[in-house]
Structures are given as structure tokens and as C-alpha cells.
Structure 1
Amino acid sequence: MGFLKNMHERRIAADQEARVDQPVVITIARDYGAEGHEIGKMLSVELGIPLYDNELLVRSASRAGEALDKVAEYDERMAAEFMAFLPDRVDSRTLSDKLFKSMSQVIVDLAATRSCIIEGRLSDYLLRNSPNHIAVLVTAPFDERVEIVRAKRGLDKRAGAKLVREMQHAREAFYKRYSAGKWKMTDGKDLVVNRAKLGRQGCVDVIAAAYRFKLSELDQVKTGVEQRQDQ
């Protein structure tokens, strides 16, 4: 019994030692029209950590060996999760798959390097086993999202609703395709923030509080590891 207890304690200690070397990373999944990108930008300023969205595209372009304008054409479909995976577009699917593989490695590398915010690109799924990962979903009721999109794009209500439905469906299909059906947009979230109830700043405040709590928790773990190493 004592042997098993010692093994368990050693395993916990090893996990904690590995954890203190990993940065805290926030991933943001966004229901279409909920202003997740705007909230991510505000959060980046609030916490003083970088937001990776378009920069992922640049890094991935370098990895994939493609011209940036060509990558942008396809990543626009990936980023919007729209049309890139249709079965009748073999050329689109092939390059999109290549880019997604490249982006996946970029995301994993970033998450191991420094504290940051990563938007979309299935980053919550890719980092699901990271102990210092905070997975966030920014959402809002359908009607609220339609109004946000309608106002921004100058659409009438019917056209706004159609666009939100199409893009939301496409984002969900993107999750299904690139996780091989193992993950949904709503899966594995540590926080779900409602932009309609909290507003942009309220969402930022909630996510920032979770980030600061995680940093404080890590400090405690680090202190415990250092104390064990001094014994």
C-alpha cells in the first residue's frame, strides 16, 4: 500500500514539475457574430499578452512553403470555416488540409513558448490536454448575433440571419472535419461567456479573472516544487 502511495505521489510531483514550465494559454472559440475576435483583442490589451489570429496565417504560410496571398485565399475559407471542405473542391481540400496541419504545429509550438491568446483554428481541441490551457467559448443568443452582424454589414434582418446560420454551420462543420468527429465547438470549455449579457468588457473581465487565477495557482505549484527540490 505504501509503495502504491509513493508511486502516486511521485507521479503527481512529476506532473507538477512539468506544469510549472508551461505558459498559461487562452483559446477562444467563437459563435459567429458574438464578437469573439473583438473580445480577444481587448483581452490581449488587458493582460498584456499577444493575440494570435492572422499571425498564425503568416507563420503557417512559411511552414507550408506557399505564397502568402495564395494561403490567404484558402485560409479565408478556413478562418471563416466556409467552403474549404466541400467534397467537390478537391484542390481546396488538399491545400486546406496541408495548411491545417501546418497551423496545428504552429499552435502547439506557440502554446509551449509563451502565454498568449489563440483564436479559432480548433486550438481548443489541439491543446485539450495542456494543464495550463483555459478554453473559452464566446457566444450570444441567435437573435443578438444576427443584429450584430446585420448592423456591421448593413444587411436586413433576413439576410443577416441567413449569413449567421450559414457561417455557424460551417464553423461547426470545420470542427467536425478536423477533429475527425471527436470534438464540437461546445466541448471541453472551461468558460462560456455570453456577450449579450456581459457585453465585451464583461466578457474580458471574466476571462481575465480566470487567467490571473491560473497564474496564481501556478505560483503556488512552483513554490511547492521548489520546496521539494530543496529537501
Structure 2
Amino acid sequence: MIITIGREYGSGGHDIGEKLAEKLGVELYDKEYLAERLKELGDYEEVQTFFEEKPANSLLYAIAREEADDRLSRKPFEEIRRLIGTRPCVLVGRCANAIFRQQEDHISVFVHADLDWRIQRIAQSNGISEKATKVLIQETDRGRAEFHRQYTGEEWGDSRGYQLSLDSGRIGIQQAAELILAYGEASWRWKEDNKGI
């Protein structure tokens, strides 16, 4: 099973991913891990912009939209698929919901939370003011939304792009991980019970 997690900044999506990976006994892959592996393989330069999460300028974006009917054939997506293959893992970020959408044993999750909850969480953990934290969250989320739209043509966080969307500010990190595990188990059981239908 591959679990992919998209998340608002400060919602705890990465922490949830760590808990899931630990409970399932699988690896957690994130931007840093994938970029490091591609550097080791000598393939990083071709996909560097993707890993720096910097959308191309609007002219390049417009050209890319015109030229790329099948966005999933883009080089960064191919490289991530090649690195991960079909081995069970938890993958945080990198448009992974779109990359693995066609894979049978894939569960995609989007984690969000109330802005005030995220501000408090990040301000405390980073030791910065709530005002600076709010700006950081808004800029990061805006960048992620633009980045996701550029590479997938989809709206980041739109529930139609994920199998499960949850509010970590209402249930906490631990319960969010438990909920995702329960969803995965229910999904697997349903598929087994409905084979051939």
C-alpha cells in the first residue's frame, strides 16, 4: 500500500506520515529523501525546480499547459515512480496524490486544519511570533497551491483529488493517523468483498 499525504503548512501532515510509517513498518519518503536519492543517482538536475517547489514563471506555465495534455508523463513524476516503484510506503507532498492515482493499492489523503490552530502549532515549535507565523503559513500554502496546479492542473486541497480529507486540528495527530489506517483497512476489505462485481 502506498499512502500519499498532501497537507496545509502547519497541519501536522508530515508528523502524521511519520506515525503511519512507524505503525505500518514502512519507509517515509518526503521531498528531502527523494531529492537526495536523485542526487545520488545523478538525476537531480533534470527535476531540480520540482524539488525546490518553485513554480515556473507565468509564461512558462502557460506554455507548459498548452504542451502537456498528459501531465503525469512529466519527468519529475516518472522519476518519483521509478524511485518508489510499488513498494509499500508513506509519501508526503510532491503531488503524490496525482502521481500514484492509478495505482490499485494507493490511498491519498489531504490534511488541513484551522488557521489559528496551525499558527499556534508552528509559532510554538519554531519559536516565532504568531504574526510572522501567519505570513509564513499563507505564503507556504499559496506556493504549494500554485505548484500543485502547475504540475497537475488540479486545485490543491480540493477533496475530489483525494480519497480522504481530514481536519487534524479537530482530532489531533495520533487520531488522524489512526483514522487513515482505519480507512485503508476498510477500503481493502471493500475491494476484497466486491471483487468481480
Q: Is this a same-fold pair by TM over 0.5?
A: yes
Point out where structure 2 has 5 or more consecutive residues left out of the alignment: 61-72
Point out where structure 1 has 5 or more consecutive residues left out of the alignment: 1-23, 79-83, 91-99, 226-231
Q: Structure 1 residue aligned with 2:34, among 35, 56, 68? A: 56
1:56–1:106 contact (8 Å) kept in structure 2: no
TM-score by length of 1: 0.68
1:138–1:194 contact (8 Å) kept in structure 2: yes
Q: Identity rate of aligned residues, in percent?
A: 27
What secondary structure, in the 3-state scheme, does the structure 2 residue paired with 1:108 have?
A: helix
What secondary structure, in the 3-state scheme, does the structure 1 residue paired with 2:97 have?
A: helix
Shift of 1:132: 2.3
Shift of 1:87: 2.5
1:28–1:135 contact (8 Å) kept in structure 2: yes
Matched, 1:201 2:174: yes
- What do residues 142-193 of structure 1 show as CA deviations (whole Å, max 9, x unaligned)? 11111111111111111111111110100001011112x3343324211112
- Whole-Å separation in 2 of the counterparts to 1:63 and 1:142: 39
1:126: which partner in 2?
Answer: 99
How well do the aligned residues superpose, as a CA RMSD in angstroms? 2.8
Shift of 1:35: 1.1
- What do residues 95-135 of structure 1 show as CA deviations (whole Å, max 9, x unaligned)? xxxxx954412332356422211111001012222332211
1:40: which partner in 2?
Answer: 17
- What do residues 13-49 of structure 1 show as CA deviations (whole Å, max 9, x unaligned)? xxxxxxxxxxx21110010110111110011011112
Q: 1:211 to 1:49 in 2, by over 3 A?
A: farther
Q: 1:161 to 1:115 in 2, by over 3 A?
A: same
Q: Structure 1 residue aligned with 2:52, among 77, 80, 94? A: 77
- Whole-Å separation in 2 of the counterparts to 1:125 and 1:113: 15
2:26–2:90 contact (8 Å) kept in structure 1: yes
Q: 1:211 to 1:107 in 2, by over 3 A?
A: farther
2:144–2:156 contact (8 Å) kept in structure 1: no
Counterpart residue identity of residue 157, structure 2: M
Q: Which has the higher helix share?
A: 1
1:124–1:135 contact (8 Å) kept in structure 2: yes
1:28: which partner in 2?
Answer: 5
- Whole-Å separation in 2 of the counterparts to 1:148 and 1:65: 33
